[in-house]
A and B are shown apart, each in its own frame.
Chain A
Amino acid sequence: MTQTGRTVDEVAVAPDDVTSVEPRTSHSWWRLTVLGIGALVFVFPFYYMIIGSLQKNQNTSLSGVVPQPGNITLRNYGEINAALNLGKTLINSGVFTGGVLLATVVFGVLAGYALAQLRFRGRGLLFVSMLLLLMVPFQLLIIPLYVLIVRYYGLGDSYLGMIAPFAINSTAVFIFRQYFLQLPKELFDAARIDGANEFRILTRIALPLVRPALLTAMLLTFIGPWNEYLWPFLITKQQSMQPLAVALANYMNTVQSTVSNPFGTILAGAVVLAVPAVALFLAFQRYFVAPNIGSAVKG
């Protein structure tokens, strides 16, 4: 996975708007041409993935690009299900992703709120640590994390071990903080005068105001563990514990010669792996676009 996950990139996201476009918009034909070609290049592999997953016999020639009525089958899906137990691996992916989402939403919101609105000793240190965490890619720490989680904590082949290094997505904490920071201070002071405690202020006042940010952060958090390969690959060796991405990659590396259309079977698995993330993205597209990079890179 090339998503850097914890880097400073995927930061505060604001609704996209088309207000300040380049003024000379008359000749949109070149735009459409460029975009059309671009879109084709981007979408073709997805189309080809589906076509390939339905082929009875692997067809890598040009004619294979168009579905051939005589060469269509759903058998590849059956084969991959028999080989990987899709239900179980999807549940594993779901538990892994769900655990990360839950921890991020609960603890990340608390931390983001504290970093934005509360004054306490250690806040500066916490903030700097968060920035450091955003910059140091997780992959560079796989060896000590492996030692720690598999050896010291004995969490190999367990959900907890899978979730732990991702538990609180720092990018999400950063987004939460940026949004809480934008809320007017007076709002909170007024509530405090009324005697509300901080937890109540957070849940009753602050959270409802940043609901779009919450959704954005959750979507961002979702694609991390759902698509993650390296870490769960390292710590889950029992297939019954492997998320779909790991089980599929292992399948790609090993047992493929035992089925009649190995690539079709792999692609069927790829379709099953891709669909949830793509569907979620399409459904919530609105919240998923135009990162307001100002906050991250300006300065």
Chain B
Amino acid sequence: MPEVPPLEAELQLATRGSEMKLEAELPPGTGESRGTRLARAVLGPQPIGMAFGAPYALFIAVLFAYPLGLAVWISFHSYFFTAPGVSVARPFVGLANYVAVLTDSEVLRSFLNILIFLVINVPLTVALSLLLATALNAAIPFRALFRACFYVPYVTASVAMVAVWLFMFNTGGVVDSVLGPVAPVPSWLVNQNWAMPSIAIYVTWKQLGFFILLYLAALQNVPKELYEAASIDGASWWHRLWSVTIPGVRTVTTLITLLAIIVGANLFTEPYLLTAGGGPNGTSASPVLLMYQIGIEQNHPDFASALGVILVIGVLLIVGVQRLLQRNQT
């Protein structure tokens, strides 16, 4: 399999290079009329590409760019849902919705919840998936079977998995039965201190398979020579792990952190179903859950849009910073 060009290079090529290339590398084919040439100059050498890309471009425009713009618009106005045909004033309110979002105790609590989520989810995911990927990274019996086991939760609907976890972690469920007196009271999902950690553990379990595969791929790209050199130096496995493996898979570790933040910002099914709507007492509410509860259930889409816009900016900033860091590293 040929090596695919790195994304950054691609991006630069695509953004900077496209204009330049419009004139260049005309496909073989001669004897064009002046009009055709003019068309090519305006539309590019292969204007058919516009037709090919048009449905996707339309999709992006109608279902991404426009909603994004609409979200920004709604977030600066007073807006609530009405029946069709009912016209109401939607006055401009400036930054009022944003101020409201950023001073709302529930929103702030949901950010704190995400922080709790990350503090548990990221180290757990990194440690466990690296461990399991390292264990898998050898010619061992049942390798395909193991890999399948780890991956199955990832492909299964969260609604189905949440049902089982509810059954297992319910008050008096099998987990409490196993733990006996050590089990927390109140039980996991209804305990203010355990609700969010339970979600973090659930998500770790659900997604681990995917990260194991990422690490596995990265491990296979770590040059064997480095391990051999380390072995010759008589390095312990711990030292090999620190000096060879972990640096070798650093890009994946960064990616996991990034994805965990995105997942955290997006949690909905878990707090909605697993902890009964972000309970108890809001200790497992996530920003997207609040967007639903406040925006749609309580009919304040203006507030929820402002929250959404803040989250979009946050995610893009984090992705940007991550790219920047990564570029500096290499």
Query: Which parts of B254-293 form the interface with A (CB within 8 Å)?
Result: 254-255, 259, 262-263, 265-270, 272-273, 288, 291-292
* Nearest Cβ on chain B to A1's Cβ, whole angstroms: 4
In chain B, residues 52-75, which have Cβ atoms closer than 8 Å to a Cβ of chain A?
Answer: 52-53, 55-57, 59-60, 63-68, 70-71, 74
Evaluate whether A45 and B161 lie within 8 angstroms (CB atoms) in the complex, with A127-B14, A289-B147 already known. yes
Q: Across the interface, do A270 and B210 meet the contact criterion of CB distance under 8 Å?
A: no
B7 touches A298 (CB 8 A): yes
Bound CA span A259–B71, Å: 43
Query: Bound complex: CA of A65 vs CA of B138, how far in Å?
Result: 33
Say whether A289 contacts B160, CB under 8 Å.
no
Q: How far is the CB of A231 from chain B (nearest CB, A)?
A: 10
Number of A-B contacts defined by CB within 8 Å: 435
Contacts of B217 in A (CB 8 A): 16, 290-294
Secondary structure type dominating chain A contacts = helix
Contacts of B18 in A (CB 8 A): 119, 121, 123-124
B197 on interface, CB distance cutoff 8 Å: no
Q: Is A82 an interface residue (CB 8 A)?
A: no
Q: Are A143 and B305 in contact (CB under 8 A)?
A: yes
Once the chains are docked, how many angstroms separate the CA of A123 from the CA of B265? 31
B158 touches A7 (CB 8 A): no
Q: Let me know if A255 is at the binding interface, CB within 8 A.
A: no
> How big is the A interface, by class?
35 or more
Whether B100 is near chain A, meaning CB under 8 Å from some CB there, is no
Q: Please determine whether A290 and B216 come into contact, CB atoms closer than 8 angstroms.
A: yes
- Contact at B164–A297, with CB atoms within 8 Å? no
Inter-subunit contact A49/B315 (CB<8 Å)? no
| A-side contacts of B66, CB under 8 Å | 144, 148
A60/B3 in contact, CB under 8 A: no
Would you list which residues of chain B between 202 and 217 have a CB under 8 Å from chain A?
203, 205-210, 213-214, 216-217
Which residues of chain B have C-beta atoms less than 8 A from A17's C-beta?
220
Cβ distance A10 to chain B, nearest Cβ, rounded Å:
8
Tell me, in angstroms, the Cα distance from A295 to B214 when the chains sit together. 12
Q: Which residues of A contact B243 (CB under 8 A)?
A: none
Nearest-neighbour CB distance to chain A for B9, whole angstroms, equals 6
User: B57–A122 contact, CB under 8 A?
Assistant: yes
Q: Is the CB of B160 within 8 A of A248?
A: yes
Binds A, one of B102-110, B129-137, B188-196: B129-137
Q: Is the CB of B155 within 8 A of A278?
A: yes
Q: Is the CB of A267 within 8 A of B164?
A: yes
- Say whether A151 contacts B153, CB under 8 Å: no
Query: Closest CB-CB distance, A86 to chain B, in whole Å?
Result: 13
The answer for the CA separation of A97 and B237 in the assembled complex, in Å, is: 47
- Residue with the greatest number of chain A CB neighbours at <10 A, chosen from B49, B136, B301: B49
Please name the residue on chain B nearest to A192 by beta carbon: B27
Complex contact A139–B266 (CB within 8 A): yes
Distance in angstroms between the alpha carbons of A197 and B71 in the assembled complex? 41
Residues of B contacting A140 with CB < 8 Å? 265-266, 288, 291, 308, 311-312, 315
Q: CB < 8 Å: which of A16, A143, A288 contacts B74?
A: A143
Q: Is the CB of B45 within 8 A of A119?
A: yes
Q: Mark A123-150, 1 if CB is under 8 A from B, else 0.
A: 1101111111101110111111111100
- Tell yes or no: A34 within 8 A of B by CB: yes
Please tell me if the beta carbons of A4 and B59 are within 8 angstroms of each other in the complex. no
Q: Confirm or deny: B34 has a beta carbon within 8 angstroms of a beta carbon on chain A.
A: no
Given A119-B25, A124-B19, does the pair A297, B251 have CB atoms closer than 8 Å?
yes
CB of A84 within 8 A of chain B? no
Q: Check if B295 sits within 8 Å of A270, measured CB to CB.
A: no
In Å, the complex CA distance between A8 and B57 comes to 19
**B interface secondary structure, majority:** helix
Asked if B89 is an interface residue, CB under 8 A from chain A, the answer is: no
Q: Which of B65, B149, B228, B316 contacts A42 (CB 8 A)?
A: B149
A237 to B125, CA, bound (A): 36
CA A292 – CA B272 in complex, angstroms?
33
Q: Known contacts A121-B50, A141-B308: does B163 contact A252 (CB below 8 Å)?
A: yes
Shortest CB-to-CB span from A65 to chain B, Å, is 6
Q: Chain B nearest CB: distance from A31 CB in Å?
A: 4
Contact A230 B269 (CB under 8 A): yes
For window 284-330 of B, CB contacts with A under 8 Å fall at 288, 291-292, 295-296, 301, 304-305, 308, 311-312, 315-316, 319, 326-327, 330
Q: A121 contacts B251, CB within 8 Å? A: no
Q: Which of A52, A118, A146 contacts B296 (CB 8 A)?
A: A146
Which one of A48, A120, A137, A142 lies within 8 Å of B168 (CB-CB)? A48
Interface residues of A (CB under 8 A from B): 1-4, 7-10, 12, 14-25, 28, 30-32, 34-35, 38-39, 41-43, 45-46, 48-49, 52, 60-62, 64-65, 106-108, 110-111, 113-115, 118-124, 126-133, 135-137, 139-148, 151, 154, 164-165, 167-168, 173, 178, 181-182, 189, 192-193, 197-199, 202, 223, 226-227, 229-230, 234, 245-246, 248-249, 252-253, 263, 266-267, 269-271, 273-274, 277-278, 280-282, 285, 288-299
Q: List 21 A-B contacts (CB under 8 A).
A: A1-B158, A20-B221, A23-B227, A60-B172, A62-B177, A119-B44, A121-B47, A139-B291, A140-B288, A143-B295, A227-B158, A227-B159, A229-B159, A230-B288, A248-B163, A249-B159, A252-B163, A267-B163, A270-B164, A297-B254, A299-B327
- Please give me the 9 A-B residue pairs with the lowest Cβ-Cβ distance, nearest first: A118-B49, A299-B6, A120-B49, A299-B8, A111-B56, A114-B52, A120-B44, A227-B157, A270-B160
For the complex with contacts A136-B64, A293-B251, A299-B9, 18 further pairs of A-B residues with Cβ separation under 8 Å are: A1-B157, A1-B159, A1-B268, A4-B262, A10-B210, A22-B219, A23-B224, A38-B128, A48-B168, A49-B163, A144-B74, A144-B308, A229-B157, A248-B163, A249-B159, A252-B159, A270-B161, A277-B157
